[in-house]
Amino acid sequence: MELGTPARGGLPATIAKRTSDGWSITGHKQYTTGSPILRYFVVWARTDDEEAQVGSFLVPRDIPGVKIVETWDHLGMRATGSHDLILENVCIPTEYDLDVHPVKAESKPDPLMLAGGSLFLSALYQGVATAARNWLVKYLNERLPSNLGTSLASLPHFQTSVGEIEALLYANQESTQYR
């Protein structure tokens, strides 16, 4: 399991071993956000070289040795699907190493990777917020307090709140759509 942070000089516990045709990766990642729906994972690992290198590796979901363990069940965050990712001798081709470099070498972030990550997170949060809105609307329509005689959805305060939520969801949706 990962315990160190790169900012403080920690090396990842996940190991990438060179093979004749690529890499074999073994490790345990926690908080793999979006794991139920991802087709690929970007995994930070260190090599098993005498002088270890670190880097990111692209790991397809549907290859032998990739396993998702459903450990994530946090109230209000379930939809993020941030389960554990187990990698057991996962073989990937050489071209799937994205940025392997010596530990002490400064690695500049790839702007396209950063942009892609931002779009992914925006889409993920859009899904979480939409699910929360759907739950709220259903609850407000089904909840019938005896002193009110009608559903909570009929109250102006709740109608305003749901309208504000709708506006925020729409704004986020429009800002992440490519046209």
pLDDT in tens, the chain (179 residues): 555 556 666 789 999 999 999 999 999 999 888 889 999 999 999 999 988 899 999 999 999 999 999 998 888 788 888 999 999 999 999 999 988 988 876 666 777 777 777 888 888 889 899 999 999 999 999 999 999 999 999 999 999 999 999 999 999 888 877 66
Positive or negative, the CA dihedral 107, 110, 115, 117 is negative
What span, in angstroms and rounded, lies between the C-alpha atoms of 14 and 29?
8
Check whether residue 12 and residue 73 sit in a common domain: yes
What pLDDT digit, counting tens, does each position of 41-85 carry? 999 999 999 888 999 999 999 999 999 999 988 887 888 889 999
Counting Cβ atoms within 10 Å, is residue 35 exposed (0-12), middle (13-18) or buried (19+)?
buried
Q: How far apart are CA 77 and CA 178, in angstroms?
A: 27
DSSP per residue, 31-77: EETTTTT-SEEEEEEEE-SSS-EEEEEEEETTSTTEEEE-----TTT
In a domain, 120, yes or no: yes
Computed over its alpha carbons, how large is the radius of gyration of the chain? 22
Q: Which residue range forms the structural domain that includes residue 134?
A: 111-176
Q: Is residue 15 part of a domain?
A: yes
Same domain? For 12 and 94 the reply is: yes
Specify whether 75 is located in the same domain as 125: no
Tell me the pTM.
Answer: 0.62
Residue 124: the pLDDT is 83
Q: Does residue 166 fall inside a structural domain? A: yes
Q: Is 151 exposed, middle or buried (0-12, 13-18, 19+ CB in 10 A)?
A: middle
Do residue 127 and residue 82 come from a single domain?
Answer: no
170 with 95, same domain: the answer is no
Distance CA 61, CA 41 (A): 7
Residue 88 lies in a domain: yes
pLDDT for the residue numbered 116: 76
Last residue of a domain, one of 81, 102, 123: 102
For residue 5, the model assigns a pLDDT of: 59
Q: Which structure tokens are listed for 164?
A: 């504000």
pLDDT of residue 113: 72
pLDDT of residue 119: 80
* Domain-located, residue 45: yes
Residue-level pLDDT at 168: 95
* Number of domains comprising the chain: 2
> How high is the pLDDT of residue 97?
93
